[in-house]
Amino acid sequence: MIKPFLSAEALSKSFTLHSQGGQHLVVMHDLNLQLAPGECLVLAGRSGIGKSTLLKMVNGNYRISAGRLTLHFDNGELELSTLPAHAWHVLRRDVIGYVSQFLRVVPRVSTREVVMEPLLSRGVGEAEARQRAEAMLARLNLPERLWDLAPGTFSGGEQQRVNIARGFIAEHPLLLLDEPTASLDAANRDVVVELILEAKARGTAMLGIFHDEDVRDRVADRLLHLEATVLETAGLESAGSETASLETNSPTTEETE
Ligand SMILES: Nc1ncnc2c1ncn2[C@@H]1O[C@H](COP(=O)(O)OP(=O)(O)OP(=O)(O)O)[C@@H](O)[C@H]1O
Ligand SMILES: [Mg+2]
């Protein structure tokens, strides 16, 4: 296997539910994975198993409870669990792209600006950013009459396409995709599959969640099945020891959701 770009070692995540007497919810225990450049690893497992939680840990939205999450660069490593807060800004600008399931809408910011922003924040010029944003929106079949509007009132599928355009435009080397095709029709799902395959071809490492089996089969190199370890405990000591099994994707994917 070629050198991984992202690796997780004995990764664990628990939440303390302050509203419920400080109860401990162990969502992930001892997860190991490796993700290489140009590879798409698809997370599978039942609802509530911790798929989105894993993406949020990689994106720095959720703190890592134990274990290591490491990015490997040619000139060194970056351990995410100990990364200072200010470094996350640079990492999200330059390295980690995240397509969340729902667009976070900022009032009065137009669709075009939402999509241009990741490029502008890297210093790409206004004219080039605008041209690339418009090309991406057109490719995702978002009607031109919507480009000047803030996406707050858009339909679910329209918002999702704005989110995808924003996520893919800056060509981050690591992309996190949380059900990016959930609200899309078949034609737009196909566009997203093309975007994913193009990203893979230029070496993007991807960690994704796809409920649509057809999409999953077309983009996944491997599946990572997250298995039940969710325990509600007063402490960590009764956490299970097995969480995940890795396997190669095959045409007869046995996933059921
Ligand atoms: N911020 C949080 N505080 C407390 N519990 C949380 C938090 N975020 C997630 N959880 C819990 O962690 C578990 C995993 O949630 P997660 O959203 O990762 O599931 P999922 O596998 O993505 O499910 P789905 O397929 O429904 O999206 C759930 O039991 C959820 O309630
Ligand atoms: Mg989820």
User: Could you give the domains of the chain?
Assistant: 36-63+84-225 (3.40.50.300)
Q: Residue 77: in which H helix or E strand, if any? A: strand 76-79
pLDDT at 201: 97
Selection from 100, 114, 96 nearest residue 177 by Cα: 100
pLDDT at 167: 97
pLDDT at 53: 96
Task: Tell me, in angstroms, the distance from the centre of ligand 2 to residue 107's CA.
Answer: 25
Residues with CB under 5 A from ligand 2 (ion): 52
Report the C-alpha dihedral over residues 66, 178, 224, 83, rounded to 10 degrees: -30
pLDDT at 199: 98
**Nearest-angstrom CA–CA distance, 51 and 46:** 9
pTM for the whole structure: 0.89
Task: Tell me, in angstroms, the distance from the centre of ligand 2 to residue 57's CA.
Answer: 13
Q: Residue 189: in which H helix or E strand, if any? A: helix 186-201
180 Cβ below 6 A of ligand 1? no
Task: Tell me, in angstroms, the distance from the centre of ligand 2 to residue 211's CA.
Answer: 10
pLDDT at 229: 56
**Nearest-angstrom CA–CA distance, 239 and 208:** 26
Residue 36 Cα to chain centre, angstroms: 15
**Nearest-angstrom CA–CA distance, 12 and 24:** 13
12 Cβ below 6 A of ligand 1? no
Secondary structure class of 226 (helix, strand, coil): strand
- Ligand 1 atom closest to 49 (CA): 21
Which tokens in the block code for residue 124? 């790409």
7 Cβ below 6 A of ligand 1? no
Atom 7 (ligand 1) nearest CA: 15
Please give the angle made by the CA atoms of 144, 147 and 153, to the nearest 5 degrees.
Answer: 110
Over the chain (257 residues), what is each successive 10-residue block's mean pLDDT? 87 90 90 96 94 96 96 94 92 96 86 97 98 98 97 94 97 97 94 98 97 95 82 40 36 24
pLDDT at 233: 46
- Closest listed ligand to the CA of 14: 1
